Amino acid sequence: MPKANGFSRFASTVAEYSGRPAVFVLALISIGVWGLTGPIFGFSETWQLVVNTGTTIVTFLMVF
């Protein structure tokens, strides 16, 4: 079996950690904090853009 390169090791490590329960709880807390700050920022377009951009980036990276 060929030796894994640096990127393969990095991707495997990220995949291993991102599947842990603590990371899921951290994601839930992040979304909860974002939701609670809605009234503070007046549910502005920028406020919405923050979570939309973040979730798009994470989804893109997790798919590929």
pTM of the complete model beyond 0.85: no
Give the CA distances from residue 17 to residues 23, 31, 45, 54, 63, in Å, rounded to whole numbers and listed in that order: 7, 19, 32, 18, 15
Return the DSSP state at 20: S
Within 10 angstroms of residue 13's Cβ, the number of other Cβ atoms is: 10
Q: What is the pLDDT of residue 60?
A: 92
Distance in angstroms (rounded) separating the CA atoms of residues 64 and 61:
5
- Cβ(2)–Cβ(10) under 8 Å? no
Query: Could you tell me if residue 55 is inside a domain?
Result: yes
Q: How far apart are the first and last CA of the chain?
A: 23
Query: Could you tell me if residue 1 is inside a domain?
Result: no
pLDDT digits over 6-46, tens only? 999 998 999 899 889 999 999 999 999 999 999 999 999 99
Query: Could you tell me if residue 31 is inside a domain?
Result: yes
Domain that holds residue 47: 6-63
Domain count, the chain: 1
